[in-house]
């Protein structure tokens, strides 16, 4: 059986730009666990002693399906294993699984550690033996294994012999510089299998030359049955094996049921939520499998093809990984193209009628103003719903005021007041924020919360961000992203005035959230 060790909470913490608090880790852990991984590494107490607090709280507060795992090095040179602080912290964590790493490349043993080859082997034996004696399951990762295997094959394999003799349960082979080629990875895996005597052989592969995913697949083909990786590939330098790409390849392309269909369908949502928590959400658009753009289709030829035969331009079904197809919409006035796109929203424009002619005329007028919907399809879906009568506007704005004030000596605050009809109710509300976009959103939410029929949905809605682009000729384009915890959607506004463009985009976004339209639904765990 293939097993997965997720190391996001430890390897990910080594990535530039990521600094995980204990609260962050407690939020991320259930998300990763929902994917069905067998092992979940919580931290490295010797380097981040606060990780002990995470292990304590995780044990008390979380119910996990995965085995919580702690990470650390073998004992220090010339130190009794029973007096080594790193060993003591591993045990203090209380984790049932200990992930030990040790040096196997002679360059590291002699020049980095500054010890002898014999002492390095003794460090490995002592450390594994101690953890096994304390009843722990032990994963041993041979750091720089493939570099060591290339430099001194006999000594690299001697380390694996020592780990087996001491009782290690899993032998993991590290490509710590991320530079080994697939042929070497396969050769190393086969050599390790000859020593493992029935134990599991696994892989911990870095991505410095972009080889991690390909090398992982090569290693699995050679007989490895354990993989270590992270959500979105987060790790030191350029990362390690990306589980968001590997899991669908294993299940959908290689036929390995390492996760269930339901767990795989959470993948995109989990990947994006983890990215937001670690502060890298703006890097997700172009990610394979889970990125917003991976299932986007722009030309009329591609759109027509995927609507008739999705496999023509889609490697896997987007819904299988919780993602969604996006049909980009340049040149909306082309009737056949628009008809294909509109059909995905339940609107049939193939029939020649006055109603359809009016729809095309309205969309043509919007296009003349500069509207395109390639990254804001909720606006198109909402517009079609209003034009066909399948949805009606909930909000009717009567008056909006937005102004900047200075409080005290130099505190700048943006204030807004809004009179608006929400369904049958007329309300007057005010809000303040740090900048105009935020304030416009807050005053809309205040209006929704003032009316019982919209209060719950208004409270659930969140403004997730906006992008502003100068279109030239004095016009600006604002794309707003909103969400409600279960789905996200994007809307667009264009005007010569930035505030008016932002207001149009936000008003569309709130209307879409109230409408119940589902074209941009995103699966959540």
Domain identity same for 363 and 428? yes
Place of tokens 């339940």: 346
Q: Is residue 100 part of a domain?
A: yes
pLDDT at 341: 66
Q: Is residue 83 part of a domain?
A: yes
Q: Is residue 97 part of a domain?
A: yes
Q: From 252, 283, 314, give the residue that closes a domain.
A: 283
Angstrom distance (rounded) from CA 263 to CA 15 = 26
Q: Along the chain (525 residues), what's the average pLDDT of each consecutive run of 10 residues?
A: 96 92 95 97 94 96 97 96 96 97 96 96 98 98 97 97 97 96 98 95 97 98 98 96 97 95 95 91 88 83 81 92 78 58 72 79 76 79 85 87 81 90 90 90 92 89 88 86 85 92 93 76 31
CA-only gyration radius of the chain, Å:
28
Backbone angles phi, psi at 396, to 5 degrees: -130, 105
Q: Phi-psi bin for 143: left (phi > 0), alpha (psi -120 to 50), beta?
A: beta
- The b-or-e profile of 510-525 (16+ CB within 10 A means b, else e) is bbbbbbebebbebbbb
CATH code of residue 222:
3.20.20.70
Domain identity same for 277 and 339? no
pLDDT at 362: 82
- Reading the block at residue 245, the tokens are 């790409």
Report how far Cα 449 is from the mean position of its chain's Cα atoms: 31
Domain identity same for 493 and 404? yes
Domain identity same for 276 and 338? no
CA neighbours within 13 Å on the CB side: how many for 366?
A: 23
Backbone angles phi, psi at 423, to 5 degrees: 65, -120
Can you list the pairs that 412-417 forms with residues at least 24 positions away whose Cβ atoms lie under 8 Å? 414/438, 414/439, 415/439, 416/440, 416/442, 416/443, 417/443
Q: How many domains does the chain have?
A: 2
Domain identity same for 274 and 345? no
Domain identity same for 503 and 372? yes
Domain identity same for 380 and 257? no
Domain identity same for 104 and 201? yes
Q: Is residue 311 part of a domain?
A: no
What is the β-pairing status of strands 411-422 and 395-407?
A: antiparallel
DSSP output for 86-116: HHHHHHHT--SEEEEEEE-SHHIIIIIS---
DSSP output for 121-184: HHHHHHHHHHHHHTT-EEEEEEETHHHHHHH-HHHHHHHHHHHHHHT-SEEEEEETTS---HHH
**Contact yes or no for 74/100 (Cβ under 8 A):** yes
Q: From 283, 299, 318, give the residue that closes a domain.
A: 283
Residues making up the chain, counted from first to last: 525
Angstrom distance (rounded) from CA 34 to CA 26 = 13
CATH code of residue 477:
3.30.160.270
pLDDT at 299: 75
Angstrom distance (rounded) from CA 328 to CA 292 = 12
Q: From 283, 312, 344, give the residue that closes a domain.
A: 283
Domain identity same for 344 and 275? no
Domain identity same for 248 and 365? no
Q: Is residue 29 part of a domain?
A: yes
pLDDT at 14: 93
Range of the domain at 188: 3-283
- Reading the block at residue 219, the tokens are 């290693």
pLDDT at 330: 57
Domain identity same for 70 and 208? yes
Q: Is residue 317 part of a domain?
A: no
Angstrom distance (rounded) from CA 451 to CA 473 = 40
Domain identity same for 221 and 338? no
């Amino acid at each position: 059986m293939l097993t997965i060790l997720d190391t996001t909470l430890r390897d990910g913490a080594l990535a530039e730009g990521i600094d995980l608090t204990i609260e962050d880790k407690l939020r991320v852990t259930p998300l990763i666990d929902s994917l069905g991984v067998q092992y979940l590494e919580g931290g490295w107490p010797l380097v981040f002693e606060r990780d002990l607090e995470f292990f304590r709280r995780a044990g008390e507060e979380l119910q996990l399906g995965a085995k919580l795992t702690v990470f650390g090095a073998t004992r220090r040179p010339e130190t009794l294993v029973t007096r080594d602080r790193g060993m003591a912290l591993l045990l203090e964590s209380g984790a049932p699984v200990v992930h030990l790493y040790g040096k196997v490349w002679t360059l590291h043993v002699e020049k980095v550690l500054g010890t002898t080859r014999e002492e390095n082997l003794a460090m490995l034996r002592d450390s594994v033996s101690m953890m096994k004696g304390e009843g722990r399951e032990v994963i041993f990762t041979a750091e720089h294994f493939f570099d060591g295997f290339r430099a001194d094959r006999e000594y690299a394999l001697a380390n694996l012999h020592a780990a087996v003799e001491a009782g290690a349960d899993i032998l993991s082979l590290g490509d710590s510089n991320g530079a080994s080629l697939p042929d070497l990875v396969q050769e190393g895996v086969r050599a390790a299998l000859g020593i493992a005597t029935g134990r599991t052989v696994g892989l911990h592969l870095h991505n410095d030359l972009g080889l991690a995913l390909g090398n992982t697949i090569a290693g699995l083909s050679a007989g490895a049955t354990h993989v270590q990786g992270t959500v979105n590939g987060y790790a030191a330098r350029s990362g390690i094996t990306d589980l968001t790409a590997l899991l669908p390849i294993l299940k959908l392309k290689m036929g390995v049921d390492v996760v269930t269909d339901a767990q795989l369908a959470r993948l995109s949502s989990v990947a994006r939520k983890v990215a937001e928590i670690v502060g890298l959400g703006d890097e997700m658009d172009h990610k394979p499998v889970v990125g917003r753009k991976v299932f986007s289709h722009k030309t009329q030829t591609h759109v027509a093809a995927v609507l008739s035969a999705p496999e023509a331009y889609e490697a896997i079904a987007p819904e299988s990984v919780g993602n969604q197809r996006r049909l980009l919409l340049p040149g909306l006035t082309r009737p056949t193209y628009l008809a294909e796109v509109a059909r995905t929203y339940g609107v049939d424009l193939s029939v020649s009628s006055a109603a359809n002619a009016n729809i095309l005329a309205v969309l043509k007028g919007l296009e003349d103003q500069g509207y395109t919907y390639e990254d804001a399809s909720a606006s198109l879906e909402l517009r079609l719903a209003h034009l066909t009568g399948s949805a009606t506007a909930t909000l009717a704005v009567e008056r909006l005021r937005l102004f900047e004030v200075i409080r005290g000596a130099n505190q700048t605050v943006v204030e807004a007041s809004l009179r608006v009809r929400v369904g049958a109710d007329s309300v007057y509300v005010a809000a303040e924020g740090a900048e105009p976009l935020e304030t416009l959103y807050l005053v809309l939410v205040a209006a929704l919360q003032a009316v019982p029929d919209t209060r719950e949905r208004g409270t659930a809605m969140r403004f997730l961000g906006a992008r502003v682009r100068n279109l030239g000729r004095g016009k600006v384009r604002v794309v707003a992203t909103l969400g409600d915890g279960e789905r996200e959607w994007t809307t667009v506004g264009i005007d010569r005035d930035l505030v008016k463009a932002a207001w149009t985009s936000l008003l569309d976004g709130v209307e879409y959230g109230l409408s119940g339209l589902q074209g941009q639904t995103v699966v959540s765990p």
